[in-house]
Structure 1
Amino acid sequence: MAICGTSRSHDEAALEFADCYHKESEVLGLGSFSVVKIFTEKSSGNECAVKIVKKAYLKPDEIRLLEQESNILSKLKHRNVVKFKDSFSNPQFYYLVMELLTGGGLYQYVTTKKRTSHCEENVVWYMRDILNGLHYCHGMNIIHRDLKPMNLCVAFDLGREVVKLIDFGVAVDTKGRSRYRHGIVGTLGYRAPEMINDEKYGTAVDLYGCGCVLYNLLIGCHPGSGEISLPSPHRGLISNPAVDLLAKLLNPYQDKRITAAQALNHSFCSLRERGALNKHLDIAVERLTEFTQKKMWKTAAAVGVITSVAMAPIVGAAMGTSLRLEPLSSSKKTVTFSNPTTRKSSDVRSRY
């Protein structure tokens, strides 16, 4: 395979890409500096998604990030991580070849294919896939740093939907380095408090984003700012284990936040407690439908890459002053955290 950085001339790289892949007419997504198209691998006849980035508009650091993304993805081989196939580079363009994920974005899939059957039991399976992917990545010393709905897509394996992590554009490999990082990247609303405060952080930032996704899937909206609680229409639809896992994932203190391995062993993911698992989450579906209709990523999410760093982020502020999650039993037990986040949203920096 022709991984970017191998010893060959630029002209040879361009010719090799044309020799290996035949372009189809369908465009899957457009970005400010890139386009995603369906190509067919000549040797196998299999379709794939290719992100083509025009280098002239990119800064040297952004080109380095593209090469870093291909290097990271080439190391990751897991059913819950998008499959990397190849990468090519010449003076004008950078080509990143990935598997084609035919199920589309997770939220698009929920609001179309699962519209009438979306329930907590389905969410359990989605979360198990996401957490399995994160657990594998963290074991490989990779921090994704941008866990959000736009970076979750659906494929099919033996008749079952499989959720996969995509877009490792800001991911970092900590092998041989400190396991803690600095730097504010990712998407506003899914950044953990420690990242917003520009503190050192580790793999726990991915679990905070995972908590936001879980909240989205159960409630249909973002935790937002201020205190986070379950709206009254959802009482009786969401089980106590779900509420407990939300509290552990959205804990604003990274040293107290649950890990991916611990989350996989949580009663919510192991199905040891069923509660309200089979009740239709109709309000969540309606809200997610409205969300997907408004977002630019609806078509781009059909592939294993996101088309541009300029894609519109989800609307939602970073976590505010407290987290209060009330279990749905009559005991009215409340989990409350004070929030260490002090930086105002206007002070948040992003490379996007």
Structure 2
Amino acid sequence: MDFSCGAFVCPGRRLGFDDLYEEEEVLGTGACAIVKKCIHRESAREYAVKIISKEGMQRPEVEILSEEKHIIKKLDHRNIVKFYGSFSDAKDYRLVFELLNGGDLYQYVIKRQRTSHCESNVMRYMRDIFTGLQYCHTKNIIHRDVKPPNLSLTIEDKREVVKLVDFGLAVETKGKARRKLGDLGTRKYKAPEMVQGLKYGTPIDLWACGCVLYNLLSGTHPSGASFPSLYWDRVSESSKDLIKQLLNEDQDSRITAAEALNHSFFNPMREESQYLGDAIMHLTEFTQKEMWKTAGGVGIVTNSVLAPIMASVMPSPPGGSQHAGASMDDTVKESC
């Protein structure tokens, strides 16, 4: 069977999702979508399918979904969840992704690193995150919702790999110029320029990375770039310096993903890292307070996150961008 790029067509009709896949158990649900595991009938490989009901959907919502598909089709990187294709029937849209087996990063750290959590581990995770974002930013794509449940972990070749997931709020810009692109995302991880309604660009993703790094090293959330000794006495100065550069309120001076990867935090010869057991305890408490939803490495955008972008989307004018009204009927490319 030929799974060449583009729609697979058998004589007389296009193959649908049920022809190629068998749906299995639910991995997670949200206000806007449900995620299930699915099995490819030909290869028996497991995937995750994000199912969005068409019931009650308005044109702006369809355009948001089409934009997500347009963006993720452009991305092919080890640190970004792989997209395999989309389907549409009378009731639902379906997006098929690789199935990530480690859950979200914070839950993985809490469960697997309880007795071994240290800066060296965090360094590996952050290298993957910065590398994925650097790739996106070179393509002028801003994720806009970097946060714990959108950082999923999997095991590849016996190595932990962190991947960016859920590009439902991502936006593609033209060049490096700042633009007013709306106040979106998750409150705790929003950069100040977004909250203030200013023009912004890729630096908003680096602010969120600063919050993530702060979370992982202390188990707490930042209130500015301050480091109370109760949580930070065992953390290196290079880690604190990188956080300061990520949480720089001046977006024009904030460190980029490429610059972050060259920071002394990633120096393999730096001082030996200490066990951060208190951070695990505080991180457990922190995650229990949050209302995050993730499933199978596919983030689920909730209504509270989606509402602002819905309010800002207007029907495309005649002659608008080709991808804005792209069909959701493309079938999947299976890499056998």
Q: Settle same-fold status: TM greater than 0.5.
A: yes
User: In the TM superposition, what whole-angstrom CA distance separates every residue of 1:67-107 from its partner, at most 9, and x where no partner exists?
Assistant: 11111111111110000011112342110100000011000
Structure 1 pair 137/7, CA: closer, same or farther in 2 (3 Å)?
same
Aligned residues: 307
AA aligned to 1:16 is G
Structure 1 pair 42/308, CA: closer, same or farther in 2 (3 Å)?
same
Structure 1 pair 311/200, CA: closer, same or farther in 2 (3 Å)?
closer
**Does structure 2 conserve the Cα–Cα contact (< 8 Å) formed by 1:3 and 1:87?**
no
Of structures 1 and 2, the one scoring higher in RCO (CA 8 A, sep 6+) is 2
Structure 1 pair 23/182, CA: closer, same or farther in 2 (3 Å)?
closer
Greater shift, 152-161 or 51-60, is seen at 51-60
**Partners of 2:130 and 2:202 in 1: CA distance:** 12
**Partners of 1:293 and 1:233 in 2: CA distance:** 21
Residue aligning to 2:204 = 205
**TM-score for the superposition, normalised by structure 2:** 0.84
Residue aligning to 1:287 = 282
AA aligned to 1:264 is L
Residue aligning to 2:231 = 234
Residue aligning to 1:215 = 214
Deviation at 1:351, TM superposition (A): 5.5
Structure 1 pair 302/2, CA: closer, same or farther in 2 (3 Å)?
farther
**Does structure 1 conserve the Cα–Cα contact (< 8 Å) formed by 2:140 and 2:175?**
no
Structure 1 pair 62/350, CA: closer, same or farther in 2 (3 Å)?
closer
Q: Show the 5 A alignment for 1:1-352.
A: 16-24=16-24, 26-175=25-174, 178=177, 180-224=179-223, 227-274=224-271, 277-297=272-292, 300-310=293-303
**Partners of 2:254 and 2:175 in 1: CA distance:** 24
AA aligned to 1:23 is E
**Does structure 1 conserve the Cα–Cα contact (< 8 Å) formed by 2:26 and 2:36?**
yes
Deviation at 1:180, TM superposition (A): 3.5
**Does structure 2 conserve the Cα–Cα contact (< 8 Å) formed by 1:135 and 1:261?**
yes
Structure 1 pair 194/176, CA: closer, same or farther in 2 (3 Å)?
closer
**Partners of 2:165 and 2:204 in 1: CA distance:** 16
**Does structure 2 conserve the Cα–Cα contact (< 8 Å) formed by 1:204 and 1:257?**
yes
For the residue of structure 2 that corresponds to 1:102, the secondary structure is coil
Residue aligning to 1:333 = none
**Partners of 1:278 and 1:207 in 2: CA distance:** 24
**Partners of 1:19 and 1:2 in 2: CA distance:** 16
Listed as ranges, the gaps of 5+ residues in structure 1 are 314-347
AA aligned to 1:85 is Y
User: In the TM superposition, what whole-angstrom CA distance separates every residue of 1:114-146 from its partner, at most 9, and x where no partner exists?
Assistant: 111111111111110000000011011111011
Residue aligning to 1:322 = none
For the residue of structure 2 that corresponds to 1:57, the secondary structure is coil
**Does structure 2 conserve the Cα–Cα contact (< 8 Å) formed by 1:2 and 1:86?**
no
Structure 1 pair 306/269, CA: closer, same or farther in 2 (3 Å)?
same
Deviation at 1:284, TM superposition (A): 1.3
AA aligned to 1:285 is I
Q: State, as a whole percentage, how many aligned pairs show the same letter.
A: 50
Deviation at 1:308, TM superposition (A): 3.5
**Aligned-pair Cα RMSD in Å:** 2.7
**Partners of 1:110 and 1:310 in 2: CA distance:** 28
For the residue of structure 1 that corresponds to 2:187, the secondary structure is coil
**Partners of 1:141 and 1:90 in 2: CA distance:** 32
AA aligned to 1:172 is V
**Partners of 1:111 and 1:312 in 2: CA distance:** 26
Structure 1 pair 43/147, CA: closer, same or farther in 2 (3 Å)?
same
AA aligned to 1:237 is R
